[in-house]
Structure formats: C-alpha cells, structure tokens
Amino acid sequence: MNTVGVNELQELQAAIRGSLLLPGEPQYDAARAIWNAMIDKRPAMILRCAGAADVRAGVNFAREHGLPLAVRGGGHNIAGSALVNDGIVIDMSAMRSVQVAPDARRAWVEGGATLRDFDHEAQAYGLATPLGINSSTGVGGLTLGGGFGWLTRKHGMTVDNLVAADIVVASGERLHVDGAHHPDLFWALRGGGGNFGAVTSFEFALHPVGPTVTAGLIVFPGSQAGLVLRKYRDYAEALGPDLSLWAVLRKAPPLPFLAETVYGTDIVALVFFSPQPSHEVESAIAEVRAFGEPLGEHVGAVPYTAWQQVFDPLLIPPARNYWKSHNFNTLSDAALDVVTSYAGKLPSAHSEIFLGLLGGAANTHAPDEMAYPHRAALYAMNVHTRWLDPQDDARCLAWAREFFQAAAPHAAGGVYINFLNEDEVDRIAEAYGPNYARLKEIKAKYDPDNLFRSNQNIRPGG
C-alpha cells in the first residue's frame, strides 16, 4: 500500500460530510465487523459516507493514492468483499434513504439500504419488488448480483425490475445509467456484481403486493426426505408463477408448532409462499401437505414485511459461514439422492441445504438481455454451512466441499454470483457464462485499471 500522510488524511476528512475511521479509533473495530465471522480484514481507513459526494471523494482518493478499494453496502456478501486489507472501505451503510412514488410505482433506493428499509417504505403503499429472503441484506449487493426471492416467480429477478442507477465509476465521475444512457454499463450492472463502480442509488419498478400474503412452513421428518423431495420436484416443475415452494434440509430449530421431541432432529421444511390470499391457495397447501406425513405446519396469512424477516435469525452474527452453490435446470433422482445423503450428515446444528425455486417470470428473459445469464435455471441450491467454534472449521468446510463435488455432475454448470466464496475465483467465468467476454470489455472501458476488484472480479480485457 502506498503511504498516506497525515495531511492527506486531514484533507480527505475535510472534503467529506461523513467521517473517516482509522485503526485504533474507538469505532473502527465495530465498523469493520460484518455478518460472516470468518472474515477478519483490517482496512487502512473506513470512509463512512453521508452521500454520493463522499463516495466520489473516496473513489478519487483511492485512485490517486494507489489504495486497494472496497465498497460496503449491507456487508452481507459471503466472500467478505465489503472489506479490504490495508486499503480504503467506502462504507455506504448510513446511506439508507428509500423514496417511493406510489402512483408511478417507482422506488429510489440509496446504496446502503437494506431489504427491511425498502420493504418498510414500499409496503406503506402495498408495493414491493423481488428481493432476497433476509431483511438485513443490503439491496445494493443483492441487486448487482442478480437478486431473487419470494416474488421472483411472479415478477422476475431483482435486476429485471431495475429501471436505472447512479454510479460513481473509477474516474470519479458520477453517471446516471439506464436503457438510454450508458446502456452498456446498465447492461453490465444487472448481474455483473460490484465490478464497475459504487452504485449510490437504484431505481426500481414496484408491483402491488400485500400487505398480507400467504406463507409458512410444512415440516416433514428427515427420514422422508427422498419421497418428499421427489414429490416436491414434480410439483415445482409444473407450478404456476403465483406460487413458490422452497425446500430446506436441516436440524429442526425450536419452532413453536413442532413437538419438543423433534427439536434437533433431521427435517425437510417446505417453504410455501404466494402473494394470493389464503383462501385462494388452500388446495395448493393441501397438495404440499400430502407429500408425506408432516411433523407440523404453520401456513397462512402473514404480513409481507414480517415474512421477509422470518429467516433473519439464520444470519445473525457472530457466526462462521461458508457457502457452496450449484444451479439446477432440473433435479434428477440421482441429484436428490446426493442431497438427502449429505443432509443426513450435517456438520453443525446451524447448517442447512436449501433449494431456492426460480422459474416463472425469471426465465422469460434471454440469457444475453442483461449480465445475469442463468435464465434456464429452475433451482439455486445453497449449501449454507454455519457454525460458531473456529475449531470446527476443517470439519464444516470439508462437508461443504465434499457435498459440492458430489452434486456437481448433476448440476447445470452455472452458479449465482452472490453465493460464491472468496476461494472460488475459478468459478467466476461459470457465474457469468456467455456474457463473460462482453463484461470484460465493459470493465476495460469503465475501470481499465481494475480499481473495483474487491468482488468476484472481472478483469478488464478484450
């Protein structure tokens, strides 16, 4: 790292409206903490931005002084890309404004906003856009990688609903991008990750949703996993866009609708979601219930904002997290055998395998319409390994990697970029698929020196 003098740091502090944190200062360690406790990086400085002008100042400072640069929104990226050793972190976590125009069905969202921030404002008008499944996730990072959640089958990926963005590129210039302005960059932002700059604001299309939806869990014993998953697959592949059904295999948490004797045992939880009223999907719930012999269930009307927070405890820090992931266009019997086998030997009580159902509106776009290419994928499988004790690292990592290798022959070959770990640089081309070459060209145009490289990096090139 190039040496930065005291005078230069003072000039940077004077140029911003936010604050500059340095090692040893009282708030520094709290500011460098992110949800994944496996990530322990020590930036040379953390610029806590108050607005887009601060972001520009930080980008210019990093470029001019040859500093490694990271951009932090929600700080949820599994690989820890929100931080960088011995460099500068542009921290937008205080930039959380969400402005909604209900008549136009548009939302303008700052780069540090979380899903909870977004949903709180949009649901005040009965509106939403497809986002993730944990309310503490940052909107920015989720969007730039593609973004999917409970509304994806009905309304597409998050990037399918991105209308425009404001971005600070490596030159320090702030650009407004949409289909008519810098369309190549707008194409790249919709799935190309944080490779092209620091996005200070997103504009999204909104859809009528809620305020009440139908959602919940139907829980089956792990001993029925093979049968239940086969029926789940057959059902899901014929499902209409108004319904979504995810499968989660894990140890039973202490859910109030389960008997205490079930706690800690292997289960298969089918997660039901529909934006439709409960009375319109009763028959669908009954069909899912009949997949096996349920241990318990809790499905019904729930506020959309509450449902978006149901799974937040799975990401509460501090915990050590490691993910492996595959996309599947279909789930063969052999693939399901691998899933059930490894679900029977989970390495910790907090680990899980989930099959996120895509399809519907998400698969109506061409692979090259935007940077996110995986338009044939019907399932995104996340092997979410989570534990507390560092002494369990080797065992937990080995389980995840072995499972990943065993499932690979049955997968589609692609992967959702937001699920890639720091050690998976060999899968970056796989994540971007046929769009990788074009992304490298756009990277060379807007960031030829690869200033924005704390990410699943696309190196500039022709």
| pLDDT for 316 | 80
Nearest to 109 by CA among 98, 119, 117: 98
Q: pLDDT by residue (tens digit) across 242-295?
A: 999 999 999 999 999 999 999 999 999 999 999 999 999 999 999 999 999 999
Q: For residue 417, what are its two tokens?
A: 């970029």
* Predicted confidence (pLDDT) at residue 318 exceeds the cutoff of 90: no
DSSP string, 341-375: HHHTT-SSTT-EEEEEE--GGGGSS-TTSSS---T
- Average pLDDT for 132-144: 95
Query: pLDDT band for position 400 (50/70/90)?
Result: very high
Domains in the chain, ordered, with CATH? 6-91 (3.30.43.10), 98-209+435-446 (3.30.465.10), 212-419 (3.40.462.20)
What's the rounded Cα separation, in Å, for the pair 434 and 402?
Answer: 27
Contact 345, 400 (CB under 8 A): no
Rounded to the nearest integer, the mean pLDDT of the chain is 96
Q: Does the predicted TM-score (pTM) go above 0.85?
A: yes
Q: For residue 437, what are its two tokens?
A: 């070459």
Report angle CA 223, 227, 231 to the nearest 5 degrees.
Answer: 145
